[in-house]
Amino acid sequence: MKIKVGFGFDVHQLKENHPFIVGGVNLEHDRGAFGHSDADVLLHAICDALLGAANLRDIGYHFKNTDPQWKGISSLILLKESVRLVQEKGFEIGNIDAMLCIEAPKINPHIPTMQQNIAEAAGISVEDISIKATTNEQMGFIGREEGVVAYAVCLIQRS
């Protein structure tokens, strides 16, 4: 059995009076992530982990931020497409482990819904998705609530 591991990272600037979508959940906050798509930092990191594990380059290669077809698109669609590409290479997802680094708002109450959204988009069990969150202890651009960061790792295996 061939097993591969992928790592993903994403960062987005936070802007006032902008939607804040993380893990497919619209969070109530005075600032939101800014980007070409819906700027879902968590899903972008997961897409990069999956694509990287399958040696399919990165999210920017497949979903260019200069292409109007991706403008404002839900990152759940980008995740579904990334999973499709991984499956086309003969792999299935074993698990996903992700970490958000964000000062506010609190993420814990939203984790079950995020897991469900990711499970549905990726076609895997909620039990195979771990999401954690931490702050940056008020240091740096994260601590000043100027940006948000997500990291993800995944395991894929030949199906």
Written in H, E and C, the secondary structure of the chain is CCEEEEEEEEEEEEEECCCEEECCEEECCCEEECCCCCCCHHHHHHHHHHHHHCCCCCHHHHCCCCCHHHCCCCHHHHHHHHHHHHHHCCEEEEEEEEEEECCCCCCHHHHHHHHHHHHHHHCCCHHHEEEEEECCCCCHHHHCCCEEEEEEEEEEEEC
In order of their start, the domains of the chain are 3-158 (3.30.1330.50)
148 annotated to bind ligand: no
58 annotated to bind ligand: yes
18 annotated to bind ligand: no
136 annotated to bind ligand: yes
Residue 23 in this model has a pLDDT that exceeds 80? yes
* pTM: predicted TM-score of the whole model, two decimal places: 0.96
26 annotated to bind ligand: no
52 annotated to bind ligand: no
pLDDT band at 25 (very low <50, low <70, confident <90, very high): very high
4 annotated to bind ligand: no
